[in-house]
Amino acid sequence: MKDQFILSQVDGYLGQVGYFNRRKKSAHPLTVQRMTIVDGLKRSLLALGLHRRSKPVKSLAELLAMPSTPHAIAPGSTNDV
């Protein structure tokens, strides 16, 4: 998406110059525009029905019930322990 690309470029630039102007003790003007871009991108994703979802996590009981298996060694690697 265009907004996501612009946001990544703005973040890169602000990462180099900083989010705040130390002399004027104020936010960089581009910081305010970044917030506008983020808000628009968030509204677009919500309109598409894309919501943040957490990754399902197994409970401790499920993890302990799993049979333990030895770690596989990648082909071509050596087991230098």
Residue 42 near residue 50, CB atoms below 8 Å = no
Q: Is residue 38 part of a domain?
A: yes
Range of the domain at 6: 2-50
pLDDT digit string (tens) for 24-74? 888 888 888 999 999 998 888 888 887 777 888 989 998 888 887 665 565
Q: Is residue 27 part of a domain?
A: yes
| Secondary element (H or E) of residue 21 | strand 20-21
Q: Is residue 29 part of a domain?
A: yes
Q: Is residue 66 part of a domain?
A: no
Model's pTM, two decimal places? Answer: 0.52
**pLDDT reported for residue 67:** 84
Q: Is residue 34 part of a domain?
A: yes
Q: Of 23, 25, 30, which is closest to residue 9 (Cα–Cα)?
A: 30
Q: Is residue 28 part of a domain?
A: yes
